Structure 1
Amino acid sequence: MATMRGSWIGNLATYVVAIPIAGFFLIPIVWLISLAVRTQQEIFLGAARFIPEKPTLDNFTQILTDSGFLIYLGNSLKLSALGALGAVVVSAPAAYAFSRFAFKGRSTVMMAILAVQMISGLVILIPLYRYMGRLGLLESHFGVTAIYIAVGIPLSVWLLKNAFDGVPIVLEEAASIDGYGPFETFLRITLPLSAPGIASAFILNMILNWSQFLIPFIMLTEESQWPISVAIYNYAGSTTASTTQLLAAACLIATVPAILAFLILQRSIVSALTAGAVDG
């Protein structure tokens, strides 16, 4: 009885803390929705009327039928997907080595990789711009994708290592007895069994790449190459009160896919993060 009561109190305390925090982050989104479904006339009412009197979806229709906006969305999808795929492909062999091979300094190297993830992009932005300029990779999606891959490697190595840790090593030993070499075992046994973790790493990298702003903002100046984050920023700079509702609709369209992807796939992502955490 005491245990059940303590558990109930703990759950209640969790909700008491979580609900205000969730509300703090949801209020801007709710306000954005309010702006996005307003008519041009109701925009001028501001906070005086939180719920529009005549909500409309015309703003979304106007944005989604704009060919330029669709190009920006396509650029974001292309850069995010290629960057995520590249990070997973490059990180998989390294993560497998950390998972399966015992070598001196392994823990130190893993912590160093994590430390790299903590470095702000602002710190290296100027030297990175000069370096990419010397390589002739400015004004190209290839250059931006390469940076996305590099930025995503530390997180991917940690996620994939956890996924590989969750694959019983006895299966690889059995494959070795059957005549499989190390590389063949990795491709045919370990990777398929780690598919949920690999998918989660890809999805997380996609979400992070989708929200990238500084890298494409610095690397790309040609409008036709902008991802949606840069396009909205430049559009916001010229926004007037008469077009605020269109900007709000564009922001929602750009934000909601990432939020929905995380909410729908959060169980898979959490499983990837915790895979291999318990030995035995």
Structure 2
Amino acid sequence: MSAARWGDVATYAALALLGAFFALPFAWLISLALRTPAEVYRGAARFIPESPTLDNFATILSDPAFLIYLWNGLKLSASGGALAVALAIPAAYAASRIDFRGRQAVLVGLLAVQMISPLVILLPLYRWMNTLGLLNQHISVIAVYGALGMPLAVWLLKVAFDAIPVELEEAAAIDGASRPRILARITLPLARSGIASAFILAMVMNWSQFLIPFILLERDADWPISVAIFNFAGSVSASTTQLLAAACLIAVLPAVVIFILLQRMIVSALISGAVKG
């Protein structure tokens, strides 16, 4: 076996170990969610339940409050993702088509902002939202989600715009089309896969957010699923551990399903600019 082949084997083996490391907690969560209350007390004695049951999922999904939390999470995540994409489109288009001074510095600066943890801005963010009277309102969370998701969306959309031939826009400009019309009628339709990928990634990031809605929303009825599960976990007992596990699986499922179904489109959008020309 050649050295290159051994290198491939070692890479896949390392990836398999890494995958197993992250999959084990998820598998244990599934085991708990399928147990009866009596089996929960057995702890780690038996990984596979003797009498698997879906009653825990039925109990969680039959709770009207849980469905409200799911809807809140979906509404906040989708609205924040849409806002991030809407804010990113003009910035990404300018970075792709206009050769202005400091363009690369602006892009790097946006990427640096993406690396800042929301924990750093929570205190000033809370005071600012309180001053504006926007606490305990979904619009405040959506605005923050949009701002946090915009830098990554700018980079993704720039890659998508770079993959579109400039000649198409130049031909439209010769026919008298303005730049906004070119963007709306030509560029955006051709970049729809990149736009969809940016929206999906921003939405999934928002779905997993906890600190921002936890700080900005105080009313129980306004919470997304991430905050609701945290508060439920604080009061959980051994007899309801299986319900908490079922709730966590239901909360994680949308993001997992989206990535599985749309992974090809997301990867294609990410690398489209790399194969241009």
**Quick one: which of 67, 79, 82 aligns to 1:82?**
79
Shift of 1:128: 0.6
Does structure 1 residue 72 correspond to structure 2 residue 55? no
Does structure 1 residue 195 correspond to structure 2 residue 192? yes
Q: What is the TM-score with the length of structure 2 in the denominator?
A: 0.98
Unmatched runs of 5 consecutive residues or more in structure 1? none
CA distance in 2, matches of 1:214, 1:191: 33
**Quick one: which of 135, 138, 150 aligns to 1:138?**
135
Does structure 1 residue 102 correspond to structure 2 residue 95? no
* Alignment match, 1:54: 51
**Quick one: which of 203, 211, 214 aligns to 2:211?**
214
Does structure 1 residue 33 correspond to structure 2 residue 39? no
**Quick one: which of 154, 161, 170 aligns to 2:151?**
154
* Alignment match, 2:229: 232
Q: Secondary structure at the match of 1:265?
A: helix
CA distance in 1, matches of 2:75, 2:121: 24
CA distance in 2, matches of 1:97, 1:207: 26
Paired letter, 2:8: N
Q: Indicate the RMSD between aligned Cα atoms, in angstroms.
A: 1.1
Shift of 1:9: 2.7
CA distance in 2, matches of 1:222, 1:44: 33
* Alignment match, 2:267: 270
Q: Secondary structure at the match of 1:192?
A: helix
Q: Secondary structure at the match of 1:276?
A: helix
Structure 1 residues 209-231: Cα deviation after superposition (integer angstroms, max 9, x where no partner): 00000000000110000000000
CA distance in 2, matches of 1:207, 1:278: 26
Shift of 1:165: 0.5
* Alignment match, 1:246: 243
Q: Secondary structure at the match of 1:275?
A: helix
Compared CA separation, residues 268 and 6, structure 1 to 2 (3 A): farther
Structure 1 residues 178-232: Cα deviation after superposition (integer angstroms, max 9, x where no partner): 2211111100100000000000000001100000000000001100000000000
Paired letter, 1:87: A
Unmatched runs of 5 consecutive residues or more in structure 2? none
* Alignment match, 1:166: 163
Compared CA separation, residues 6 and 192, structure 1 to 2 (3 A): farther
**Quick one: which of 3, 6, 15 aligns to 1:18?**
15
CA distance in 1, matches of 2:190, 2:46: 53
* Alignment match, 1:257: 254
Count of residues in correspondence between the two structures: 277
CA distance in 2, matches of 1:265, 1:9: 32
Paired letter, 1:270: V
Give the share of equivalent positions with the same residue, in percent.
Answer: 61
CA distance in 2, matches of 1:32, 1:256: 12
Structure 1 residues 73-121: Cα deviation after superposition (integer angstroms, max 9, x where no partner): 0000000000000110111011000000001110011101110001111
Q: Does 235-244 or 7-16 show the bigger shift? A: 7-16
Paired letter, 1:45: R
Paired letter, 1:100: R
